[in-house]
Amino acid sequence: MSRAVTDRDRRLVRLSVLKTLVQIVVIWTLTLVVAPLLIVRVESWLGLDVRPMLPRGLELAGVAVFAGASTLGLWSAWTMAIVGRGTPLPLDPAVRLVIAGPYRWVRNPMAIGGLAQGAGVALWAGSPGVLLFVLCGFVVWNYAIRLWEERDLVRRFGEPYEQYRRDVDCWLPRSTPLAASQHAALGKGETAD
């Protein structure tokens, strides 16, 4: 019976990874390609192209920010799928509390990565409109989605999540990762990388 559980668990992980990859392709394409292209076109149509006034090298800085943020986003999504056995989508959430990988430093590394990716696109495109789009995304995420998500996590994981929330900030990374031993008794949680 233990082998059947292990095989089922492996299938669940593979399915979580596959669904996460599909989600990444769809969401990143819409929010980091399609929406910014439309915003830049509208800026151009309205005569609001500020690129000629921007300092040289801004595009390269945007690429660097985007690459770093994408790495964080992929690491976070991978950790959510492998450890949490779920996806970043609220409709298909992790079934295990994730306190591993980047989640040991900050509670919302995926949101930080996504917002930083958007900022990288804004720098690369030299677009104040794309930057405004990113700031609006932050407001919506922080004041609507995050609040709903945290209530759901408290409902599903209870005190282990409450303790994690006390130990790890939403936006500001810890100077050292949360030690696995600090949450060894999380029950449904996962504490190892």
* Residue 161, domain CATH: 1.20.120.1630
Chain segment 27-72, per-residue pLDDT in tens: 999 999 999 999 999 998 998 877 767 788 888 999 999 999 999 9
Let me know if 148 is exposed, middle or buried by CB neighbors in 10 A (0-12, 13-18, 19+).
exposed
The answer to whether residue 147 is domain-embedded is yes
The answer to whether residue 191 is domain-embedded is no
The band of 88, judged by pLDDT with boundaries at 50, 70 and 90, is confident
Average pLDDT along the chain? 88
The answer to whether residue 81 is domain-embedded is yes
Cα separation, 108 vs 63, whole angstroms:
22
Sequence-separated (6 or more) residues with CB below 8 Å from residue 175: none
User: How many domains are contained in the chain?
Assistant: 1
Q: Please say whether the beta carbons of 83 and 96 come within 8 A.
A: yes
The answer to whether residue 192 is domain-embedded is no
Chain segment 108-132, per-residue pLDDT in tens: 999 999 999 999 999 999 999 999 9
Domain that holds residue 66: 2-183
The answer to whether residue 43 is domain-embedded is yes
Rounded to 5 degrees, what are φ and ψ at 190? Answer: -125, 130
Q: What is the pTM of this model?
A: 0.86
pLDDT at 51: 73
The answer to whether residue 189 is domain-embedded is no
Q: Please say whether the beta carbons of 88 and 23 come within 8 A.
A: yes
Residue 164 has pLDDT above 70, yes or no: yes
Alpha-carbon torsion (98, 18, 118, 31), positive or negative: negative
Sequence-separated (6 or more) residues with CB below 8 Å from residue 170: 106, 107, 108, 146
Map residue 98 onto helix, strand or coil.
strand
Map residue 57 onto helix, strand or coil.
coil
Let me know if 68 is exposed, middle or buried by CB neighbors in 10 A (0-12, 13-18, 19+).
middle
